[in-house]
């Protein structure tokens, strides 16, 4: 855990109430109604979730035990059988939704495609049959390294259909990062594309896969299924690599969904922690499905006419839960956009809203801050009158950005849901309900029904109102991660032992600092471990340090975050060089590039600072608190008495 203390932040006094019009038509219409749900769930969580599971999902076989809790290992709906792909597709086909748009996709170059539920179902069945033909069966892990095209969602749903856990790797990760993740998951097949569009350039995805699995680096991979997207020439290795467009005409569109046990693994998704390599977060079938379904329904207040758009990438949990599984399980229309605001098209998001009449828009604070910089003219020149609800996710939103979102995008009409959650939680945990909860700019407000969140000290005792502490959850919930893939001990240590268990009481430790105000509203302050949130992406300092140290010129490295106006944080790396190396501009550039190659462009340090030595305690621990102050140009304050060599500090300060 980091040595930084949690500060209580400024008090934000503004409160915004949902309009009577919005509330009267909402799923949850008032704070009273929310409170009743909350109290009912708290009094008897198992009955609460069981009733919803029965009402909201299709089951091939009912469960016999709602929750089996062997701390910290939970099993939900034990004995039951269901299928996530069935819940997202098949069950809508016998209703009017059969011909409703399931996915509306817009490509970066301006091409587009709409798939109705019936069409999506057909393609998923074909894709599932192609996977089977290539030897994938129940329990085999499938890597998915794709651009934001419909086939990414199709591949995920096809895996879910046949019970093959997917492991989606964000298309912005490097070949090395792909290799580590495929190897850890022992993937049997990889789904990829020839390339993807990203900011007017082609990302050579297939070439990266070739590199990742070259020389038997991931011996479990037998086949690579390639979707044509960008059309450039790529190498296809006979026997191993297969074009989707060659297979599609040869496979049947008949593929019944495999009944899956509630606790069968649905997917693994890697995320950065404070130590070592990324963790494979494991989510299972029924609990995850129910949680993604319910949270989508409550938070986005889905109505049949909504056009819902979450701007995340399917490579992150937000894309899993709130582009694919949550919306489709609810029979909603989900917009998928390949592009990103870029110099050639800074207004593209607002064009998409206008073109499709988007009613619900869910994005990240970092994007909102970038929009503010680009100017209000861009959104003001588009017709955004279809919007009725706005959301944010991924990092704390500063009140200024919240107010801009509220006035310029929401025209003071749309509730804003600031949703706090994590890869590990499967779905949103703390959030306003748009028709019920008065909002305060910068607060994620209150926990959802069934979520017993708290702010505690290191002994697990609740701290008084408005005092900083650690964000924890006191009771298991259906969407929680079940384990770290292949490493249950790491799961226990990372999430359940930071706050030592006591008398059978286990607290889920989120790794965030927070305070709760006198209205019970949560204010999440950010990570308290060695994780840096850069533009809503979560990066482990250790991973970046390892990447730096793997460069031959580097002797030692320490990475910290520095506040950044748009990205939230910027990565600053302090580097000591091998004795035969000179600190030059070129070397700094080369090191940034090296990190990009080792992990991906999102992990590239914004600033490399060379120094002769790093500040360490007498026991040899790098004092990051000092480095953080130096990186952000602040006076070094607080206790420096454990610093081993004071002259190091003076030198660093002089250099900064
Ligand atoms: C971390 C989780 C969950 C989707 C995207 C990120 C930070 C997330 C908020 C919010 C303040 C937030 C936390 C959390 N975070 N949402 N609304 N307010 N902080 O998922 O990569 O697993 O990162 O993102 O620090 O622990 P993730």
Query: To the nearest whole percent, how much of the chain has pLDDT over 90?
Result: 90
Structure tokens at 333: 């229309």
DSSP 511-547: EEEEEE-TTS-EEEEEESSSEEEETTEEEEHHHHHHH
Would you place residue 647 in the very low, low, confident or very high pLDDT band (cuts 50, 70, 90)? confident
User: In this model, does residue 654 exceed pLDDT 70?
Assistant: no
- Pick the atom of ligand 1 nearest to 397's CA: 18
**Average pLDDT of the residues in 588-607:** 96
Residue 428 CA, ligand 1 centroid: distance in Å: 10
Q: How many residues does the chain have?
A: 656
- Pick the atom of ligand 1 nearest to 527's CA: 25
Q: What does the pLDDT look like over 142-164, one tens digit per residue?
A: 999 999 999 999 999 999 999 99
**Average pLDDT of the residues in 205-209:** 98
* Ligand 1 surroundings by CB, under 6 angstroms: 271, 317-318, 393-396, 418-423, 444, 510-512, 524, 526-527, 533, 538
Would you say 430 and 420 are in contact if contact means Cβ atoms under 8 Å apart? yes
Residue 427 CA, ligand 1 centroid: distance in Å: 11
Name the CA radius of gyration of the chain, rounded. Answer: 24
Question: How high is the pLDDT of residue 154?
Answer: 99
Considering the chain, what is the average pLDDT of its residues?
95
Q: What does the pLDDT look like over 510-519, one tens digit per residue?
A: 999 999 999 9
- State the virtual CA torsion across 338, 341, 347, 351 in degrees, nearest 10: 10
Matching residue, tokens 């409160």: 15
**Closest to 447 (Cα-Cα) out of 474, 468, 410:** 474
- Pick the atom of ligand 1 nearest to 431's CA: 17
146 Cβ contact list (under 8 Å, min separation 6)? 152, 155, 168, 171, 191, 192, 193, 196, 205, 227, 314, 315
Q: What does the pLDDT look like over 221-271, one tens digit per residue?
A: 999 999 999 999 999 999 999 999 999 999 999 999 999 999 999 999 999
Would you say 545 and 559 are in contact if contact means Cβ atoms under 8 Å apart? yes
The residue contributing the CA closest to ligand 1 atom 17 is: 420
d(CA 320, CA 635): 42
> Helix 585-598 and helix 175-185: axis angle, to 10°?
30
215 Cβ contact list (under 8 Å, min separation 6)? none
Question: How high is the pLDDT of residue 10?
Answer: 54
> In the 8-state DSSP scheme, what is residue 564?
E
What is the H or E stretch that residue 318 is in? helix 317-319
The residue contributing the CA closest to ligand 1 atom 24 is: 394
d(CA 301, CA 19): 14
- Pick the atom of ligand 1 nearest to 511's CA: 26
DSSP 361-398: EEE-HHHHHHHHHH-THHHHTS--TT--EEEEESSPPP
Structure tokens at 364: 């990240």
Would you place residue 11 in the very low, low, confident or very high pLDDT band (cuts 50, 70, 90)? low
d(CA 350, CA 347): 6
The residue contributing the CA closest to ligand 1 atom 27 is: 422
Q: What does the pLDDT look like over 467-496, one tens digit per residue?
A: 999 999 999 999 999 999 999 999 999 999
Q: What is the side-by-side order of every strand in the sheet holding 508-516?
A: 453-456, 469-473, 508-516, 522-527
Parallel, antiparallel, or unpaired for β 73-78 and 469-473?
A: unpaired
Indicate the top mutation candidate among 420, 424, 444 to test ligand 1's pocket, ranked by most ligand atoms within 8 A of CB.
420
- Pick the atom of ligand 1 nearest to 419's CA: 17
Residue 415 CA, ligand 1 centroid: distance in Å: 20
Structure tokens at 228: 């044509």
Q: Can you tell me whether residue 303 is helix, strand or coil?
A: coil
Structure tokens at 329: 């399980």
Check whether the bond before 597 is cis (ω within 30° of 0): no
The residue contributing the CA closest to ligand 1 atom 8 is: 394
Q: How many CA atoms lie within 13 A of 381 on its CB side?
A: 10
Would you say 530 and 540 are in contact if contact means Cβ atoms under 8 Å apart? yes
d(CA 149, CA 228): 10
Three-state SS for 635-650 is: CCCCCCCCECCHHHHH
The residue contributing the CA closest to ligand 1 atom 21 is: 538
**Average pLDDT of the residues in 313-335:** 98
**Average pLDDT of the residues in 411-437:** 98
Our separate counts of H helices and E strands in the chain read 22, 30
Question: How high is the pLDDT of residue 637?
Answer: 65
What is the H or E stretch that residue 260 is in? strand 260-261
Residue 331 CA, ligand 1 centroid: distance in Å: 26
Residue 363 CA, ligand 1 centroid: distance in Å: 12
**Closest to 191 (Cα-Cα) out of 174, 211, 171, 161:** 171
**Average pLDDT of the residues in 31-59:** 98
DSSP 414-432: S-EEEEB--GGGSS--B--
Would you say 280 and 268 are in contact if contact means Cβ atoms under 8 Å apart? yes
Question: How high is the pLDDT of residue 634?
Answer: 80
Indicate the top mutation candidate among 269, 429, 510, 538 to test ligand 1's pocket, ranked by most ligand atoms within 8 A of CB.
538
Residue 468 CA, ligand 1 centroid: distance in Å: 18
User: In this model, does residue 13 exceed pLDDT 90?
Assistant: no
Q: What does the pLDDT look like over 285-314, one tens digit per residue?
A: 999 999 999 999 999 999 999 999 999 999
| Helix extents (H) in 268-410 | 285-299, 317-319, 326-329, 348-356, 365-374, 377-380, 399-404
Phi then psi dihedrals of residue 514, to 5 deg: -155, 165
The residue contributing the CA closest to ligand 1 atom 20 is: 422
Question: How high is the pLDDT of residue 646?
Answer: 74
Indicate the top mutation candidate among 12, 283, 421, 508 to test ligand 1's pocket, ranked by most ligand atoms within 8 A of CB.
421
Q: How far is CA 201 from CA 192, 342, 480, in A?
A: 17, 11, 37
Question: How high is the pLDDT of residue 4?
Answer: 34
> Helix 541-549 and helix 585-598: axis angle, to 10°?
120
Would you say 606 and 564 are in contact if contact means Cβ atoms under 8 Å apart? yes
Residue 18 CA, ligand 1 centroid: distance in Å: 24
Would you say 333 and 370 are in contact if contact means Cβ atoms under 8 Å apart? no
d(CA 117, CA 101): 6
Indicate the top mutation candidate among 367, 394, 530 to test ligand 1's pocket, ranked by most ligand atoms within 8 A of CB.
394
Question: How high is the pLDDT of residue 7?
Answer: 40
Matching residue, tokens 């003076």: 650
Would you say 503 and 447 are in contact if contact means Cβ atoms under 8 Å apart? no
Would you say 596 and 603 are in contact if contact means Cβ atoms under 8 Å apart? yes
**Average pLDDT of the residues in 322-345:** 97
Residue 319 CA, ligand 1 centroid: distance in Å: 13
Q: How many CA atoms lie within 13 A of 565 on its CB side?
A: 4
- State the virtual CA torsion across 196, 201, 203, 206 in degrees, nearest 10: 70
- Pick the atom of ligand 1 nearest to 444's CA: 17
**Average pLDDT of the residues in 609-622:** 88
Structure tokens at 369: 């801050």
The residue contributing the CA closest to ligand 1 atom 11 is: 396
Structure tokens at 266: 């649905």
Q: What is the side-by-side order of every strand in the sheet holding 112-116?
A: 112-116, 101-106, 333-337, 307-310, 360-363, 389-393, 416-419
């Amino acid at each position: 855990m980091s040595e930084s203390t949690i500060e209580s932040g400024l008090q934000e006094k503004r409160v915004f109430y949902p309009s009577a019009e919005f509330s009267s038509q909402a799923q949850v219409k008032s704070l009273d109604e929310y409170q009743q749900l909350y109290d009912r769930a708290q009094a008897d969580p198992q009955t609460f979730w069981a009733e919803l599971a029965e009402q909201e999902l299709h089951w091939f076989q009912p469960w016999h035990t709602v929750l089996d809790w062997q701390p910290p290992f939970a099993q939900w709906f034990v004995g039951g059988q269901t299928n996530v792909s069935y819940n997202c597709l098949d069950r809508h086909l016998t209703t009017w939704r059969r011909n409703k748009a399931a996915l509306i996709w817009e490509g970066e170059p301006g091409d587009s495609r709409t798939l109705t539920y019936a069409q999506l179902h057909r393609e998923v069945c074909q894709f599932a049959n192609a996977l089977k033909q290539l030897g994938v069966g129940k329990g085999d892990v499938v890597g998915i390294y794709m651009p934001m095209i419909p086939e990414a969602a199709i591949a995920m749903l096809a895996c879910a259909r046949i019970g093959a856990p997917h492991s989606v790797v964000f298309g912005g990760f490097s070949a090395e990062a792909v290799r580590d993740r495929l190897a850890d998951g022992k993937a049997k097949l990889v789904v990829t594309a020839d390339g993807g569009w990203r900011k007017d350039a082609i990302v050579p995805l297939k070439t990266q896969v070739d590199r990742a699995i070259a020389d038997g680096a991931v011996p479990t991979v037998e086949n690579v299924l390639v979707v044509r997207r960008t059309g450039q020439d790529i190498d296809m290795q006979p026997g191993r690599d297969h074009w989707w467009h060659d297979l599609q005409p040869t496979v049947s569109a008949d593929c019944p969904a495999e009944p899956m046990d509630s606790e069968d693994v649905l997917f693994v998704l890697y995320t950065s922690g404070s130590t070592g390599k990324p963790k494979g977060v494991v989510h299972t079938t029924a609990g995850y499905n129910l949680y993604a379904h319910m949270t989508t329904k409550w938070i986005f207040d889905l109505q049949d006419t909504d056009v819902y758009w979450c701007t995340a990438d399917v490579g992150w949990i937000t894309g899993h839960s709130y582009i694919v599984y949550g919306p489709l399980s609810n029979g909603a229309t989900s917009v998928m956009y390949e592009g990103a605001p870029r110099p050639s098209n800074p207004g593209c998001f607002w064009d998409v809203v206008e073109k499709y009449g988007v009613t619900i828009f869910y994005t990240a604070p970092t994007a909102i801050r970038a929009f503010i910089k680009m100017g209000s003219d861009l959104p003001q020149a588009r017709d955004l009158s279809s919007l009725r609800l706005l959301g944010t996710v991924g990092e704390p939103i500063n009140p200024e950005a919240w107010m801009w979102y509220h006035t310029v995008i929401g025209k003071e009409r749309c509730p804003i849901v600031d949703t706090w959650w994590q890869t590990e939680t499967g779905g949103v945990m703390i959030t306003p309900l748009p028709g019920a909860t008065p909002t305060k700019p910068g607060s994620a407000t209150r926990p959802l029904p069934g979520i017993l969140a708290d702010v505690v000290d290191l002994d697990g005792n609740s701290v008084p109102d408005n005092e900083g502490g650690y964000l924890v959850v006191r009771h298991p919930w259906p969407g929680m991660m079940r384990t770290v893939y292949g490493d249950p001990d790491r799961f226990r240590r990372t999430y359940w032992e930071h706050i030592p268990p006591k008398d059978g009481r286990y607290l889920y430790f989120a790794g965030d600092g927070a305070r709760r105000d006198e209205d019970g509203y949560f204010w999440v302050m950010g990570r308290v471990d060695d994780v840096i949130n850069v533009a809503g992406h979560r990066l482990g300092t250790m991973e970046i340090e390892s990447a730096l140290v793997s460069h031959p010129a580097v002797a030692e490295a320490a990475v910290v975050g520095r506040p950044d106006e748009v990205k939230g944080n910027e990565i600053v790396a302090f580097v000591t060089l091998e004795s035969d190396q000179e600190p030059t501009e070129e070397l700094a550039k080369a090191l940034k590039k090296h990190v990009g190659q080792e992990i991906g462009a999102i992990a590239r340090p914004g600033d490399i600072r060379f120094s002769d030595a790093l500040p360490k305690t007498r026991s040899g621990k790098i004092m990051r608190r000092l480095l953080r102050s130096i990186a952000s140009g602040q006076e070094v304050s607080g206790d420096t008495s454990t610093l081993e060599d004071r002259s190091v500090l003076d030198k660093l300060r002089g250099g900064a």
